[in-house]
A and B are shown apart, each in its own frame.
Chain A
Amino acid sequence: MSTLLTILLASYLLGGLLPLCVPGRPHLQNLLAHGCAAGAGVVGIALGLAGLLAADPLTGSFSSNIPYLTFAFRLDPLAAFFVLTISLVGLAASIYALGYVGEFSGRVSLTLLGSLLNGFLLSMTLVVLADNGFFFLILWEAMSLLSYVLVVTEHEKPGVREAGLFYLIMTHVGTAFIILTFLIFFQETGSFSFDSFRHPDQRLPEGLRSIAFFTALIGFGAKAGIVPLHVWLPYAHPAAPSHVSALMSGVMIKTAIYALIRVYFDFLDGEFPWWWGFTVLVIGAVSALLGVMYALMEHDLKSLLAYHSVENIGIILLGIGAGMIFHTYGLHELAALGLLAGLYHTINHAAFKALLFLGAGALQFATHTRNIEEYGGLLRRMPWTGAFFLIGAVSIAALPPTNGFVSEWLVFQSLFLSFQLPTLFLKLILPIAAAMLALTGALALACFAKAFGMSFLAQPRSSHARHATEVPVSMRIGMGLLAGACVVLGLAPMLVVPLLDRITGPLTGVAISSKVLALDGWVVAPVTVEFSSISTPVLAALLVGAGALGLLFARMMGKPLRARYYKTWGCGLNLTPRMEYTATGFAQPIKQVFETIYQPTVKLETEFLEQSKYFIKHQRFEFHIEPLFEKYLYTPVVTFLLAIADRLRIIQAGSLHLYLTYIFVTLVLLLLWAG
């Protein structure tokens, strides 16, 4: 395993450095950077699998001459799982990037883009491997900064720099809280080593534990994009090049999920009051619902997908939150189930969200726009991209027999099993969370019906879409890889569950693999088969069989008539793309029903002909939805900070003498205080 790890790190480093050594040869640079990253991805998948199956964690440590900092790493099943996830998406994104970066040729330095991608992948991989708080923070910061630089790749475009700055600020607010969390542990244990966090000489006081819970939740939550800390996500993720967006949405935000599980179940030893789990659950439910609701109103395909990341982080947290609640009450099997459901959804979301972002990138590559309203009819022009995007859409909408369905189903089950909890309050809250999840699922279905339908079906709505052609092979391979992963993860839960069980087993103290899988693994059940069960392979077979039956009926009962092709009925007119339903129109009923949340403002200006008010010369329609969190949470904070800064300007005269006086006075005061 250590050999694999060495190869992995070396490949990323080579991928980062080699392109810099061959200046002026963009093709070779492209090949070197993304080839190394793809190779590292393959190695990483192997390493992740090996780490999951290994009996003992692989550890290692290199001391440094900086106090408290040791370059310690530890590959336990939890870390291995995230290495696997990162590598899988990294592999697909690197292959995809081979063709995709051509889009940026001549505008940005491809050398840097390739190098930074390797650096970003390396930092993410190391973050989950780090076993020292100091080391972890350095890597976390590196990951944040590298992703920031990648976000502002196209900084000449309007809005990109602002998006990058917003991201930079939010991620550092988060980092501040993470530092706080580690300092709390450090204060009690006197060391930054994760091992001492894990096994402190004496238990942390109750109050401090609760503070650590909240600082970790805020710190990592800002990276994960939980509501209300999600606001940077829909700006930053779309601004980045699509393969980077895929990595950010697919795996970078998952490192926060990793860290939360690490802190709650590992460092804090899984001992917590019920309201911790309850808080996580509520945040999960709210994130899921609001994420998908805002996604529905988006017409920028990549912003839409970014909002769906908020939704899916919510679903993951629903599983983890339920697991935490069960854990508090000593229902260890159910705790393991909730956690397993959350982790299963983590890798599923990584697969389908990355796939969808790569698909969005392919659309942008072919049409040079991200606006759904300007797409249309692309399935006939880009059949491969369309088919892959459809697989992603069906998966994220959690429709059987795909992978999204399996993990969402497991989350549902862990919420339904709440009747085993002792308090009436929680017995009612968990089913309500399930109902919110059901609403979320239904809205996600509507949203992806919109996204796919408006982009790929009917007639092209713009000349961009009309002239679109299929993307290069490397991009199709990248997408195909993830589409394949979605199918495998959906149809073969018997392969996934035992692996996940190796993570949840040590964390919750009970192995449930044999109970979750029944009938030789053909059936997935939440601990007991009597409560419920599904079998995606059988469902898939059933669907294929029933579809074949339909085909048989069509053949047997009818004459073998060839279909006739004719234009769509347009009430006697020739149908033009302007008559098609728009994405805005499609989502309008939803906007109206959930008015309270959206608070839409609609503006309609009509200019009539002078001769008659029955003939319209010009009409302009505008609608906006109120960004609630930005308006009521962020704007006040920013205004407040600016006001303070304004006051403080009094002492900032710009005179060097004055500043020297300040320093002198401060020094004297400090000396007095120290004395």
Chain B
Amino acid sequence: MIPEVGNFALVLALCVALTQGTLPLLGAHLNRQQWVALARPAAVAQALLLAIAFGCLTTAFVQNDFSVVYVAQHSNTLLPLQYRVAAVWGGHEGSLLLWVVMLVLWTLAVALRSTQLPEAMVARVLGVLGLVSAGFLLFILFTSNPFERLLPGAAEGRDLNPLLQDPGLIIHPPMLYMGYVGFSVAFAFAIAALLSGQLDAAWARWSRPWTTAAWVFLTIGIALGSWWAYYELGWGGWWFWDPVENASFMPWLIGTALVHSLAVTEKRGSFKNWTVLLAISAFSLSLLGTFLVRSGVLTSVHAFATDPRRGIFILVFLGTVIGSSLALFAWRAPKVGLGGRFGLLSRESLLLTNNVLLVVACASVLLGTLYPLLIDALGAGKLSVGPPYFDAVFVPLMLPAVFLMGVAPCARWKHASVRELARTLRWAFVAAAVVGVGAPFLFGEWKPLVALSLLLAAWIVFSALLNLFERVQSTRAGQPFLAAVRRQPRSFFGMHLAHVGISVFIVGVTMVGAYQAEKDVKMEPGDTVSVGGYSFRFNGVREEKGPNYRALVGDIDLLKNGAAVRKMFPEKRFYVASSMPMTEAAIDTGFLRDVYVSLGEPIDKARPDAAWAVRVYYKPFVDWIWGGCVLMAMGGLLAISDRRYRIKARSAAPAPAVTTASLAQNA
């Protein structure tokens, strides 16, 4: 009964989404107030219906209702409750449902928090979101219905893929999807602006916090995924340039460019077309990511669904959504003006350079991801593009971008002078150079690339501090210094916090890349192996039973200078229902390093109590990678909480820089 309710709720939600996607848009166009007024209630109704559907599917999982195909495929009576709940989005159908749930949550948020926006604008934004939602609901109902019945029901479910039975899975996909889907709001604002012809600073100010919020979620989602791969895949790697990872990274790169471009559009009215194009691209890449992962076009660890029919639907959907948006863009963009003018060296031009670098980096990732597909499509054989390609292209592109991160916040809008910038920043550069050149000596071998990376990381921090100091000095007007610091807007701190996050991230990546140590060894019980100043004593393996698996648990003493630090218990699990083996690494996490042990296989399969192949790692600063991401996300949150976004009664009049006159003048 419950699955039928869920199914019915989905059908109703589709009807509501279609209404929401048509009448308000038409109403805004034809100036019919009753139709425009439908947008908000429709958004609320859709959210309620999808909450019901999602609740029904969750109930089916909690109750082990194996007469539902999706539940039978992804759950098992032995599966612990928290994973049964997480299994709701452990497969194709459920994760799509999660996608739409996220979409309607964003829609609801826009509907409720947009009281200061003109009604027509709200109607257009919600209408576009309704159309996107309708597309996904059609997709779910026709090709991937999670409520499909299996009659007679299975006695037992197949179990969730053991790789996904992990706390990381409980939060990683929802966060990632919040980010992916969040760009739909920026997209809807851009389309609404194109439709209405009102591309102005007010539009940029409205869509800015939404874009930043999506970016924050995506940052956290990607970081969680990377952290999950690090501890769950048992290889100690934190990024593999896997197509699925790239699928989430590309929207992030474009989203980052969009956040910066929106800043220019809001403050100076420039880059409007460019911003719109980025907003369309960010959402398009989110859809493309969904497409690549869900259709199985690229096979990889994560691509669990291989069904061409679904792929064709997504492709048609993708073609319709993006194709029509780009057509709308091509039609409307020529009429939009250039906005505020700026000098060759100005904050605008620096941000533009940053944008170009990010977009080019994204394009190179896209190329590396799709190239094997292209070659295969041309029948020219199978090949793969390995991580070295991405490293070789990505790092050189990001080095200048990171350098500019220190310069741009200090540069003036409109026109900046080289001499002034050099004077302001020289001490930051000297200090960064000292740190960059000196710090590698502390970690043993001095490597030029490490020095360069650390220099840039320090450069970001010092230039941010300097920028803060200068800004406070110039605005304090006799006040005490700290009081003046507190008076700076939150978005200013947010920006620098996010930049410092990048710096912390760079330190993590650099240090773990340059100074990590690893060993694969055979260990008899009683053997000791040393890596990175730590010793590991292997005391053998014992058998244990988990709720839905049996495990061989290694018993390892971690020693430093002969003194015991702690015990570590890496596991080799065998999941009963799926008969899949899984490696669970044991990790000792520290501020400055991780120590990581995972079990390979017994040397003699018949004697798991004897010698094992064991892999041990020493990973300096590895947690800074994710710590940096957390700082970036916190920076984003701080920026959203800036009070200028909370002033409700603010007039929606366009900023002076982009009056109609200037539009006409530049057209």
- Chains A and B come from one and the same complex: no
Interface residues of B (CB under 8 A from A): none
Interface residues of A (CB under 8 A from B): none
